[in-house]
Amino acid sequence: MQQDVGNESVGGGTLLMLLCTILNYYYAFKESKSLTPAIQATKSYFVFYIFALLSFLWAIFPDYKALFSKCLELISSYMLVSVIMWKTKSRRKAMLYLLYLCTLSATIGYFAKVLAFKSILVHTNTHSLIAAMGALMAWKMKNHYKIRHLAPLVYWNFFMLLMGTSSASNIAFIVGLFVMLSCTKKGVNIPKLAVTFLFFSAFYYFFKDLVFEYVFYGKSQEAVESGTGRQIIWNVVFDTWRKHPWFGLGYIVGERHLVDLTGLPAAYSTHNGFLSVLLGTGIAGAIIFGWFYLKTIWINIQGTFSSKYGTEMTILLPMLAVVTVNNLSFPAVGSEWNYTLPPILGLFALIHTIQYKTK
Protein backbone atom coordinates (compact mmCIF):
# COMPACT_ATOMS: atom_id res chain seq x y z
CA MET A 1 0.00 0.00 0.00
CA GLN A 2 1.65 3.21 -1.12
CA GLN A 3 0.97 6.91 -1.00
CA ASP A 4 3.58 9.07 -2.66
CA VAL A 5 4.75 12.24 -0.99
CA GLY A 6 3.10 15.21 -2.61
CA ASN A 7 0.92 13.06 -4.85
CA GLU A 8 -1.71 11.61 -2.55
CA SER A 9 -4.89 10.33 -4.13
CA VAL A 10 -8.22 10.28 -2.32
CA GLY A 11 -9.69 7.28 -4.08
CA GLY A 12 -9.77 3.57 -3.43
CA GLY A 13 -6.12 3.63 -2.39
CA THR A 14 -6.87 5.92 0.52
CA LEU A 15 -9.78 3.76 1.65
CA LEU A 16 -7.58 0.67 1.45
CA MET A 17 -4.90 2.44 3.49
CA LEU A 18 -7.52 3.34 6.10
CA LEU A 19 -8.78 -0.25 6.26
CA CYS A 20 -5.23 -1.64 6.61
CA THR A 21 -4.45 0.89 9.34
CA ILE A 22 -7.57 -0.10 11.31
CA LEU A 23 -6.71 -3.79 10.96
CA ASN A 24 -3.15 -3.09 12.12
CA TYR A 25 -4.41 -1.41 15.27
CA TYR A 26 -7.00 -4.15 15.83
CA TYR A 27 -4.41 -6.92 15.77
CA ALA A 28 -1.84 -4.93 17.79
CA PHE A 29 -4.29 -4.13 20.59
CA LYS A 30 -5.73 -7.63 20.45
CA GLU A 31 -2.26 -8.80 21.42
CA SER A 32 -2.01 -6.22 24.18
CA LYS A 33 0.08 -8.50 26.41
CA SER A 34 2.79 -8.56 23.74
CA LEU A 35 2.36 -4.94 22.67
CA THR A 36 3.89 -3.36 25.78
CA PRO A 37 7.17 -5.33 25.80
CA ALA A 38 7.37 -5.09 22.00
CA ILE A 39 7.20 -1.28 22.11
CA GLN A 40 9.49 -1.15 25.14
CA ALA A 41 12.25 -2.70 23.04
CA THR A 42 12.20 0.21 20.58
CA LYS A 43 10.49 2.87 22.68
CA SER A 44 12.61 5.80 21.46
CA TYR A 45 11.37 5.13 17.91
CA PHE A 46 7.79 5.09 19.20
CA VAL A 47 8.44 8.39 21.01
CA PHE A 48 9.64 9.90 17.74
CA TYR A 49 6.38 8.89 16.01
CA ILE A 50 4.35 10.49 18.80
CA PHE A 51 6.47 13.64 18.56
CA ALA A 52 5.90 13.67 14.79
CA LEU A 53 2.15 13.36 15.36
CA LEU A 54 2.20 16.29 17.80
CA SER A 55 3.98 18.47 15.25
CA PHE A 56 0.55 19.51 13.96
CA LEU A 57 0.66 22.01 16.83
CA TRP A 58 3.40 24.05 15.12
CA ALA A 59 3.11 22.98 11.47
CA ILE A 60 3.46 26.02 9.20
CA PHE A 61 0.69 24.74 6.89
CA PRO A 62 -2.65 23.42 8.15
CA ASP A 63 -2.21 20.20 6.17
CA TYR A 64 -3.41 18.09 9.07
CA LYS A 65 -5.02 15.38 6.94
CA ALA A 66 -1.65 14.38 5.47
CA LEU A 67 0.16 14.64 8.80
CA PHE A 68 -2.38 12.64 10.80
CA SER A 69 -2.98 9.96 8.16
CA LYS A 70 0.72 9.41 7.70
CA CYS A 71 1.61 9.29 11.40
CA LEU A 72 -1.32 7.04 12.30
CA GLU A 73 -0.41 4.63 9.52
CA LEU A 74 3.25 4.65 10.55
CA ILE A 75 2.38 3.96 14.18
CA SER A 76 -0.01 1.15 13.22
CA SER A 77 2.62 -0.51 11.02
CA TYR A 78 5.23 -0.08 13.75
CA MET A 79 2.95 -1.68 16.35
CA LEU A 80 1.95 -4.59 14.12
CA VAL A 81 5.48 -5.51 13.03
CA SER A 82 6.83 -5.05 16.57
CA VAL A 83 4.20 -7.40 18.01
CA ILE A 84 4.84 -10.05 15.33
CA MET A 85 8.58 -9.93 15.93
CA TRP A 86 8.12 -10.07 19.69
CA LYS A 87 5.76 -13.04 19.53
CA THR A 88 8.14 -14.96 17.26
CA LYS A 89 10.30 -16.54 19.95
CA SER A 90 12.63 -18.50 17.66
CA ARG A 91 15.60 -16.63 16.14
CA ARG A 92 15.52 -18.88 13.09
CA LYS A 93 11.79 -18.30 12.48
CA ALA A 94 12.12 -14.55 13.03
CA MET A 95 15.00 -14.37 10.55
CA LEU A 96 13.04 -16.36 7.95
CA TYR A 97 9.99 -14.17 8.50
CA LEU A 98 12.05 -11.04 7.85
CA LEU A 99 13.62 -12.54 4.72
CA TYR A 100 10.22 -13.54 3.31
CA LEU A 101 8.85 -10.09 4.18
CA CYS A 102 11.73 -8.41 2.31
CA THR A 103 11.26 -10.63 -0.74
CA LEU A 104 7.47 -10.24 -0.80
CA SER A 105 7.62 -6.46 -0.39
CA ALA A 106 10.25 -6.09 -3.12
CA THR A 107 8.31 -8.40 -5.46
CA ILE A 108 5.06 -6.47 -5.00
CA GLY A 109 6.87 -3.20 -5.64
CA TYR A 110 8.72 -4.56 -8.67
CA PHE A 111 5.68 -5.99 -10.43
CA ALA A 112 3.67 -2.85 -9.70
CA LYS A 113 6.36 -0.87 -11.55
CA VAL A 114 6.59 -3.41 -14.38
CA LEU A 115 2.83 -3.22 -14.97
CA ALA A 116 2.87 0.57 -14.80
CA PHE A 117 5.82 1.13 -17.16
CA LYS A 118 5.48 -2.02 -19.33
CA SER A 119 9.18 -2.80 -18.93
CA ILE A 120 11.31 -5.12 -16.80
CA LEU A 121 13.77 -2.23 -16.36
CA VAL A 122 12.03 0.16 -13.97
CA HIS A 123 14.09 2.95 -12.47
CA THR A 124 13.22 3.30 -8.81
CA ASN A 125 14.72 3.59 -5.37
CA THR A 126 11.99 1.73 -3.52
CA HIS A 127 11.80 -2.01 -4.18
CA SER A 128 15.50 -1.98 -5.10
CA LEU A 129 16.32 -1.04 -1.49
CA ILE A 130 14.38 -3.98 -0.07
CA ALA A 131 15.76 -6.31 -2.76
CA ALA A 132 19.31 -5.33 -1.74
CA MET A 133 18.47 -6.22 1.86
CA GLY A 134 16.86 -9.51 0.80
CA ALA A 135 19.75 -10.56 -1.44
CA LEU A 136 22.35 -10.12 1.31
CA MET A 137 20.17 -11.75 3.94
CA ALA A 138 19.29 -14.77 1.80
CA TRP A 139 22.96 -15.21 0.86
CA LYS A 140 24.16 -15.36 4.47
CA MET A 141 21.19 -17.35 5.77
CA LYS A 142 21.59 -19.97 3.05
CA ASN A 143 25.14 -20.60 4.22
CA HIS A 144 24.35 -20.48 7.93
CA TYR A 145 21.09 -22.43 8.10
CA LYS A 146 21.91 -24.77 5.18
CA ILE A 147 18.46 -24.21 3.64
CA ARG A 148 18.64 -24.98 -0.08
CA HIS A 149 15.45 -23.21 -1.11
CA LEU A 150 16.97 -19.89 -0.05
CA ALA A 151 19.33 -19.93 -3.04
CA PRO A 152 16.60 -18.83 -5.53
CA LEU A 153 15.76 -15.94 -3.18
CA VAL A 154 19.35 -14.69 -3.47
CA TYR A 155 19.12 -14.61 -7.28
CA TRP A 156 15.58 -13.23 -7.37
CA ASN A 157 16.31 -10.36 -4.99
CA PHE A 158 19.54 -9.58 -6.81
CA PHE A 159 17.66 -9.57 -10.14
CA MET A 160 15.10 -7.09 -8.77
CA LEU A 161 17.93 -4.91 -7.46
CA LEU A 162 19.56 -4.77 -10.90
CA MET A 163 16.26 -4.16 -12.70
CA GLY A 164 15.63 -1.18 -10.42
CA THR A 165 18.64 0.59 -12.04
CA SER A 166 19.03 2.68 -8.88
CA SER A 167 22.54 4.03 -8.30
CA ALA A 168 21.72 4.67 -4.64
CA SER A 169 20.52 1.11 -4.08
CA ASN A 170 23.50 -0.31 -5.98
CA ILE A 171 25.90 1.68 -3.82
CA ALA A 172 23.99 0.66 -0.68
CA PHE A 173 24.25 -2.99 -1.74
CA ILE A 174 28.01 -2.66 -2.32
CA VAL A 175 28.45 -1.06 1.12
CA GLY A 176 26.35 -3.86 2.64
CA LEU A 177 28.51 -6.41 0.83
CA PHE A 178 31.59 -4.59 2.08
CA VAL A 179 30.31 -4.89 5.68
CA MET A 180 29.31 -8.53 5.19
CA LEU A 181 32.77 -9.50 3.94
CA SER A 182 34.30 -7.66 6.90
CA CYS A 183 32.52 -9.84 9.45
CA THR A 184 33.55 -13.19 10.84
CA LYS A 185 31.78 -15.70 13.07
CA LYS A 186 33.29 -13.81 16.00
CA GLY A 187 31.88 -10.43 14.97
CA VAL A 188 33.14 -7.38 13.09
CA ASN A 189 36.82 -7.77 12.27
CA ILE A 190 38.58 -4.39 12.02
CA PRO A 191 41.68 -5.65 10.12
CA LYS A 192 39.43 -7.50 7.69
CA LEU A 193 37.33 -4.34 7.35
CA ALA A 194 40.46 -2.38 6.39
CA VAL A 195 41.59 -4.99 3.86
CA THR A 196 38.11 -5.14 2.30
CA PHE A 197 38.02 -1.34 2.07
CA LEU A 198 41.40 -1.27 0.36
CA PHE A 199 40.27 -3.94 -2.10
CA PHE A 200 37.12 -2.04 -3.07
CA SER A 201 39.08 1.23 -3.33
CA ALA A 202 41.64 -0.39 -5.63
CA PHE A 203 38.89 -1.95 -7.74
CA TYR A 204 37.17 1.42 -8.12
CA TYR A 205 40.46 3.13 -9.02
CA PHE A 206 41.43 0.65 -11.75
CA PHE A 207 37.95 -0.10 -13.08
CA LYS A 208 36.20 3.26 -12.73
CA ASP A 209 34.63 3.08 -16.21
CA LEU A 210 33.15 -0.33 -15.43
CA VAL A 211 31.73 0.96 -12.14
CA PHE A 212 30.08 3.93 -13.85
CA GLU A 213 28.59 1.64 -16.50
CA TYR A 214 26.93 -0.81 -14.11
CA VAL A 215 26.61 0.88 -10.72
CA PHE A 216 25.59 4.30 -12.06
CA TYR A 217 23.50 2.88 -14.87
CA GLY A 218 22.35 5.51 -17.38
CA LYS A 219 24.00 8.45 -15.60
CA SER A 220 26.83 10.71 -16.63
CA GLN A 221 29.73 11.46 -14.30
CA GLU A 222 28.42 15.01 -13.92
CA ALA A 223 25.00 13.73 -12.86
CA VAL A 224 26.57 11.37 -10.33
CA GLU A 225 28.75 14.07 -8.79
CA SER A 226 25.75 16.38 -8.41
CA GLY A 227 23.56 13.65 -6.95
CA THR A 228 21.29 13.90 -10.02
CA GLY A 229 19.96 17.23 -8.79
CA ARG A 230 19.65 16.19 -5.16
CA GLN A 231 22.34 18.66 -4.08
CA ILE A 232 20.12 21.52 -5.24
CA ILE A 233 17.17 20.20 -3.24
CA TRP A 234 19.33 19.59 -0.16
CA ASN A 235 20.59 23.20 -0.25
CA VAL A 236 16.99 24.41 -0.41
CA VAL A 237 16.00 22.10 2.46
CA PHE A 238 18.77 23.47 4.69
CA ASP A 239 17.85 27.07 3.85
CA THR A 240 14.19 26.36 4.67
CA TRP A 241 14.99 24.45 7.88
CA ARG A 242 17.16 27.30 9.22
CA LYS A 243 14.00 29.45 9.49
CA HIS A 244 12.41 26.90 11.88
CA PRO A 245 15.42 25.06 13.35
CA TRP A 246 14.18 23.73 16.71
CA PHE A 247 10.86 22.06 15.87
CA GLY A 248 10.83 22.11 12.08
CA LEU A 249 7.95 22.83 9.73
CA GLY A 250 5.72 19.93 10.79
CA TYR A 251 6.19 16.26 9.97
CA ILE A 252 5.65 15.67 6.21
CA VAL A 253 4.00 19.11 5.96
CA GLY A 254 7.25 20.93 5.25
CA GLU A 255 8.23 18.34 2.67
CA ARG A 256 4.90 18.45 0.88
CA HIS A 257 5.09 22.24 0.62
CA LEU A 258 8.72 22.67 -0.45
CA VAL A 259 7.50 23.74 -3.88
CA ASP A 260 5.27 26.44 -2.34
CA LEU A 261 8.05 27.61 -0.04
CA THR A 262 10.89 27.64 -2.54
CA GLY A 263 9.43 27.58 -6.03
CA LEU A 264 11.74 24.66 -6.88
CA PRO A 265 9.87 22.40 -9.35
CA ALA A 266 9.09 18.82 -8.30
CA ALA A 267 10.71 19.23 -4.86
CA TYR A 268 8.11 17.14 -3.06
CA SER A 269 10.74 15.10 -1.23
CA THR A 270 14.03 15.85 0.47
CA HIS A 271 15.47 12.68 -1.14
CA ASN A 272 17.15 12.01 2.20
CA GLY A 273 15.38 10.42 5.17
CA PHE A 274 17.56 12.08 7.77
CA LEU A 275 16.93 15.52 6.24
CA SER A 276 13.20 14.71 6.22
CA VAL A 277 13.36 14.25 9.98
CA LEU A 278 15.27 17.50 10.42
CA LEU A 279 12.96 19.51 8.16
CA GLY A 280 9.75 18.08 9.62
CA THR A 281 10.59 17.91 13.33
CA GLY A 282 13.67 20.12 13.70
CA ILE A 283 16.57 19.60 16.06
CA ALA A 284 14.26 18.23 18.78
CA GLY A 285 12.93 15.46 16.54
CA ALA A 286 16.36 14.77 15.08
CA ILE A 287 17.74 14.16 18.58
CA ILE A 288 15.00 11.61 19.36
CA PHE A 289 15.34 9.89 15.99
CA GLY A 290 19.14 10.06 16.03
CA TRP A 291 19.31 8.52 19.51
CA PHE A 292 17.26 5.55 18.34
CA TYR A 293 19.20 5.10 15.11
CA LEU A 294 22.66 5.32 16.68
CA LYS A 295 21.54 3.02 19.51
CA THR A 296 20.31 0.51 16.92
CA ILE A 297 23.66 0.57 15.10
CA TRP A 298 25.54 0.13 18.38
CA ILE A 299 23.34 -2.77 19.56
CA ASN A 300 23.75 -4.45 16.17
CA ILE A 301 27.55 -4.11 16.12
CA GLN A 302 27.88 -5.15 19.75
CA GLY A 303 25.57 -8.10 19.15
CA THR A 304 27.85 -9.54 16.45
CA PHE A 305 30.25 -10.55 19.25
CA SER A 306 27.60 -12.51 21.17
CA SER A 307 28.18 -16.25 21.51
CA LYS A 308 24.41 -16.79 21.57
CA TYR A 309 23.03 -14.70 18.70
CA GLY A 310 26.15 -13.21 17.10
CA THR A 311 25.62 -15.04 13.81
CA GLU A 312 22.16 -13.55 13.36
CA MET A 313 23.42 -10.08 14.24
CA THR A 314 26.21 -10.51 11.68
CA ILE A 315 23.57 -11.25 9.04
CA LEU A 316 21.50 -8.21 10.07
CA LEU A 317 24.37 -5.71 10.15
CA PRO A 318 24.88 -5.53 6.34
CA MET A 319 21.13 -4.99 5.97
CA LEU A 320 21.26 -2.08 8.40
CA ALA A 321 24.16 -0.67 6.39
CA VAL A 322 22.05 -0.91 3.22
CA VAL A 323 19.14 0.95 4.85
CA THR A 324 21.44 3.66 6.26
CA VAL A 325 23.24 4.34 2.98
CA ASN A 326 20.10 4.17 0.84
CA ASN A 327 18.32 6.51 3.24
CA LEU A 328 20.77 9.24 2.23
CA SER A 329 19.09 9.26 -1.17
CA PHE A 330 15.54 7.97 -0.59
CA PRO A 331 13.62 8.74 2.63
CA ALA A 332 12.58 5.16 3.40
CA VAL A 333 13.04 5.91 7.11
CA GLY A 334 11.93 9.33 8.26
CA SER A 335 9.39 10.26 5.62
CA GLU A 336 8.19 7.86 2.92
CA TRP A 337 5.59 5.28 3.81
CA ASN A 338 4.89 2.34 1.50
CA TYR A 339 5.87 -1.30 1.04
CA THR A 340 9.50 -0.45 1.88
CA LEU A 341 8.68 0.32 5.51
CA PRO A 342 7.49 -3.00 7.06
CA PRO A 343 10.76 -4.89 6.29
CA ILE A 344 12.78 -2.01 7.75
CA LEU A 345 10.59 -1.92 10.85
CA GLY A 346 11.06 -5.69 11.10
CA LEU A 347 14.83 -5.23 10.90
CA PHE A 348 14.79 -2.65 13.70
CA ALA A 349 12.51 -4.79 15.89
CA LEU A 350 14.61 -7.92 15.38
CA ILE A 351 17.87 -6.14 16.24
CA HIS A 352 16.36 -4.92 19.50
CA THR A 353 14.63 -8.16 20.51
CA ILE A 354 16.83 -10.99 19.25
CA GLN A 355 18.48 -11.30 22.65
CA TYR A 356 15.17 -12.52 24.09
CA LYS A 357 14.70 -15.29 21.51
CA THR A 358 15.66 -18.94 21.62
CA LYS A 359 17.43 -20.82 18.87
Contacts of 135 (CB under 8 A, 6+ apart): 154, 157, 158, 161, 173
Q: How many residues does the chain have?
A: 359
d(CA 324, CA 71): 21
pLDDT of residue 4: 45
pLDDT of residue 205: 55
Q: Looking at 88-126, list the stretches that DSSP marks H as alpha helix, in order from N- to C-terminal side.
A: 91-117
- What is this structure's pTM? 0.88
Burial bucket for residue 308 (CB in 10 Å: 0-12, 13-18, 19+): middle
Q: What is the mean pLDDT of each run of 10 residues along the chain (359 residues)?
A: 43 69 91 92 95 93 84 92 96 96 95 91 88 96 87 96 88 90 78 73 58 49 49 84 94 82 68 92 97 96 92 95 90 79 95 94
Sign of dihedral through CA atoms 179, 180, 186, 189? Answer: negative
Q: Give 265-298 pLDDT, tens digit per residue.
A: 656 678 889 999 999 999 999 999 999 999 999 9
Q: How far are the Cα atoms of 74, 105, 154 from residue 78, in angstroms, in the given order? A: 6, 16, 27
pLDDT of residue 8: 42
d(CA 13, CA 104): 19
CB 74 within 8 A of CB 51: no
